[in-house]
Amino acid sequence: MVSQAIMLTMTELGNALKNLVAPVNCLGCGQESGWICDDCRRELTASRPESCVICDKAADNGICPKCQERVPLDGVVSLFSYAEPVIQDLVQQAKYGGHFDALSFYADTFRRHYLRRLPHSEWTVVPIPIHQKRLAKRGFNQSEVLSQRMFAGREEVSNLLKRKNDTPAQAKLTKTKRLTNVHGCFAYVGTKEIPENILLVDDVITTGATLGEAAILLRRKGAKTVWAITIAHG
């Protein structure tokens, strides 16, 4: 979408100019170094594929069999725990502040430390969409920007899904309401035969309701393998 690309460029330029005047301080310790300094980065707890990102029980590929009954993903790669205050802050800076350099930090971390967790295959990367009203207000979809920065020149990034309903933000709802809030909220808008192997990308996974709903629809359309990548979990 051309208008979104222009918006991204303008926002990035504005943030770059602000950083020249007032350089970014580490969200962890406050020293001038970028969003997270090397020392604070080493303090972050990396997620492990042996633990379910939803319930923290023993798992293969980041999701346990029990959670897979409700969230039909073959695997989940999540970078960090959302319980980490600096990760919460950095997600908010990217999502609501338009600081795409924060997303570049996550993309670089993924490529250096987490990319190897994915099975070797030819993937189509599908960002979880936001509703058109939110896109018009925010100017970008953070999951799409993250997808492009994680997989630039590696895999195809394709907007195969559309958000039909402007549902309330999941973070403001109880666990039970999150599961019903997103029911039927996506539509498939791909014009070609659906890819066999799909990587869904979102910022945070908690109950897995959003990613699960997307996976159900994609499998119904014929996808054989569906994994998910998120910045954080919990």
Q: Where are the alpha helices (DSSP H) in 38-97?
A: 38-43, 65-70, 85-97
Of 32-36, 71-75, 94-98, which one has max mean pLDDT? Answer: 71-75
Report the percent of the chain where pLDDT is more than 90: 62
Burial class (CB in 10 A: 0-12, 13-18, 19+), 115: middle
Residues in the chain: 234
Tally the domains of the chain: 1
Nearest to 214 by CA among 57, 4, 72: 72
* Mean pLDDT to the nearest integer, 97-113: 87
Residue 194 tokens, joined: 């659906």
Which pLDDT score, from 0 to 100, does residue 20 have?
38
Going 77 to 79 to 85 to 91, the CA torsion angle's sign is negative
DSSP 129: P
Residue 153 pLDDT class (50, 70, 90 cuts):
confident
Cα–Cα dist 234/227, whole Å: 18
What's the mean pLDDT when you consider all of the chain? 86
Burial class (CB in 10 A: 0-12, 13-18, 19+), 41: middle
Q: What angle do CA 116, 121, 123 make, to 5 degrees?
A: 100
Residue type, 78: S
Which pLDDT score, from 0 to 100, does residue 13 have?
44
Measured in whole angstroms, the distance separating CA 61 from the mean position of its chain's CA atoms is: 17
Residue 138 tokens, joined: 């925010």
* Mean pLDDT to the nearest integer, 136-158: 91
Which pLDDT score, from 0 to 100, does residue 102 have?
84
Q: Residue 120: which domain range? A: 2-233
Name 32's bridge partners: 25
Cα–Cα dist 35/15, whole Å: 13
CATH number for the domain that contains residue 18: 3.40.50
Which pLDDT score, from 0 to 100, does residue 104 have?
87
The secondary structure element, H or E, covering residue 159 is: none
Range in 108-112, 174-178, 221-225 with the lowest mean pLDDT: 174-178
* Mean pLDDT to the nearest integer, 80-86: 94
**Model confidence at 124: pLDDT above 70:** yes
CB 199 within 8 A of CB 126: yes
Q: What is the per-residue pLDDT across 182-208, written as a single tens digit (0 to 9) for each? A: 888 999 999 889 999 999 999 999 999
Which pLDDT score, from 0 to 100, does residue 53 have?
97
Nearest to 210 by CA among 176, 185, 188: 185
Which pLDDT score, from 0 to 100, does residue 17 have?
38
Residue type, 209: A
* Mean pLDDT to the nearest integer, 86-104: 86
Which pLDDT score, from 0 to 100, does residue 61 have?
96
**Model confidence at 12: pLDDT above 60:** no
